[in-house]
Amino acid sequence: MHTIQEVAPQILYVGASDRRLALFENMFPLENGVTYNSYLLLDDKTALMDTVDASVARPFLENVGAALGGRKLDYLVITHMEPDHCATIAEVARRWPEAKIVGNKKTFTMIGQFFHEDLSPRFHEVKEGETLSLGKRTLRFVMAPMVHWPEAMLALETGENILFSADAFGTFGGFNGNLFSDEMDFEALLLDEARRYYTNIVGKFGQQVLATLAKLGTTVPSLICPLHGPVLRGSAIPLLLDKYTHWASYKPEKQGVVLAYASMYGNTESAAHALAALLAKKGVKDLRLFDVSKTHCSHIIAEAFKYSHLVFAAPTYNMHLYNAMDILLRDMHHLNLQNRKAAVIGNGTWAPVSHKAMLALLGEMKNMEVVADPLVLLSSLKESQLPELETLADKLVASIA
């Protein structure tokens, strides 16, 4: 049974959801699945905007067939070649043999790499700013290199200013039935997942995201059709444009403290809780406390992009840093997180070095200001160290603008 929905006159949603997938990219936990979006434009010419992941090929192909209603497919437009979108290209090409495949030079190199069929006779290459007329509607192509792959491009439908945004403005989460962001409480339901999606997948490429946003100019699209999540309409568009500007420039959305701790037997955890309680007593609101062994690092990364201050507390392990904390800090580095204020608490029973390891990793990141001396525990936090903990809390509070 097809699940086609109308996006705009003669533009149909033909994508599908996968709620069985446990880990997106075999890495990121999905509590509610993910959508793989595809859109069909039915104008004088027909154009399919991207394909879908292999897991949802069947409902997608049923949707496309039903939506075409016997018409031929003239164009298959490929805005992004990651397999969660490109996996079904060869099958679409087989079923609709007259369709030209629209992409840029890098798109076609990747098609050659991923597929064994020679699809090159069907390639229709487009460059920055070039257009494709479908009849009443025209698509203008905006290259978006490294957002977050080199071949990524956006397509702007120029008549109604509808942006087909590839992975940009996407979010985790399967469909609940409503297609548009203004048919749901987007901010309450999906903003956190939009942030987790962006920061973990595109987070490294802030400079390229800003360059692409600049190319789009100041005209706000009437609709944004991403490759994951709902079609954006209404207040979600300015909301996400503002969030993208913060995330891509590594500016915190708000002042506040994220405390991430690792603890084998509860002693480091106890110190992290003591610090959190002190910060609360001193007036810090909306504290975010995470056990790095319990909360997947993708969630902590998203919170770290949101808030201004980061505290890391971890024991020493194998004369280095507890592994889950090591992974979190290296991931933050790889994702280019910068411009934060930080503090660390280390622990060790005979030779504590975790504080030094955390400071070294923070030192590799850009503009991470350590606002207090590290608090170093020998097995557990002692009464005699409470003044040190108080000083740490005071320095954090003083640095919160």
Q: Which is nearer to ligand FEO, 107 or 354 (CB)?
A: 107
Least separation in angstroms between CB 232 and ligand FEO: 16
Q: Which is nearer to ligand FEO, 232 or 260 (CB)?
A: 232
Cα separation, 197 vs 191, in Å, equals 10
Q: Which is nearer to ligand FEO, 172 or 317 (CB)?
A: 172
| 303 part of the interface to ligand FEO, by CB under 6 A | no
Q: Which of residues 226-245 bind ligand FEO (CB under 6 A)?
A: 227-228
Least separation in angstroms between CB 4 and ligand FEO: 21
DSSP 400: -
Least separation in angstroms between CB 135 and ligand FEO: 29
DSSP 283: T
Task: Select the span of 55-63, 81-89, 185-193, 279-287 touching ligand FEO (CB under 6 A).
Answer: 81-89
Q: Which of residues 332-361 bind ligand FEO (CB under 6 A)?
A: none
Binding ligand FEO (rule: CB under 6 A), the pick from 43, 50, 74, 84 is 84
Q: Which helix (H) or strand (E) covers residue 133, if one does?
A: strand 131-133
Least separation in angstroms between CB 148 and ligand FEO: 6
Least separation in angstroms between CB 228 and ligand FEO: 6
Task: Select the span of 76-84, 116-124, 235-243, 299-307 touching ligand FEO (CB under 6 A).
Answer: 76-84
Q: Which amino acid is at 20?
A: R
Least separation in angstroms between CB 59 and ligand FEO: 17
Please identify the residue of the shown chain whose CB is closest to the bound ligand FEO: 82
Q: Which is nearer to ligand FEO, 227 or 389 (CB)?
A: 227
Binding ligand FEO (rule: CB under 6 A), the pick from 167, 269, 326, 388 is 167
Least separation in angstroms between CB 80 and ligand FEO: 6
Q: Which amino acid is at 385?
A: Q
DSSP 144: -
Q: Which is nearer to ligand FEO, 167 or 303 (CB)?
A: 167
Q: Which is nearer to ligand FEO, 85 or 340 (CB)?
A: 85
Cα separation, 226 vs 37, in Å, equals 7
Task: Select the span of 79-87, 90-98, 264-272, 364-372 touching ligand FEO (CB under 6 A).
Answer: 79-87
3-state SS record for the chain: CCCCEEEECCEEECCEEECCCCEECCCEECCCCEEECCEEEECCCEEEECCCCHHHHHHHHHHHHHHHCCCCCCEEECCCCCHHHHCCHHHHHHHCCCCEEEECHHHHHHHHHHCCCCCHHHEEECCCCCEEECCCCEEEEEECCCCCCCCCEEEEECCCCEEECCCCCCCCECCCCCCEHHHCCHHHHCHHHHHHHHHHHHHHHHHHHHHHHHHHCCCCCCEEECCCCCEECCCHHHHHHHHHHHHHCCCCCEEEEEEEECCCCCHHHHHHHHHHHHHHHCCCCCCEEEECCCCCHHHHHHHHHHEEEEEEEEEEECCEECHHHHHHHHHHHHCCCCCEEEEEEEEECCCCCHHHHHHHHHHHCCCEEECCCCEEEECECCHHHHHHHHHHHHHHHHHCC
Task: Select the span of 77-85, 96-104, 137-145, 325-333 touching ligand FEO (CB under 6 A).
Answer: 77-85
| 80 part of the interface to ligand FEO, by CB under 6 A | yes
What are the C-alpha distances in Å from 43 to residues 6, 134, 142, 183?
14, 6, 21, 26
Site size toward ligand FEO (CB under 6 A) is 8
Task: Select the span of 54-62, 80-88, 270-278, 327-335 touching ligand FEO (CB under 6 A).
Answer: 80-88
| 196 part of the interface to ligand FEO, by CB under 6 A | no
Binding ligand FEO (rule: CB under 6 A), the pick from 82, 193, 269, 303 is 82
| 225 part of the interface to ligand FEO, by CB under 6 A | no
Could you list the residues that contact ligand FEO (CB under 6 A)?
80, 82, 84-85, 148, 167, 227-228
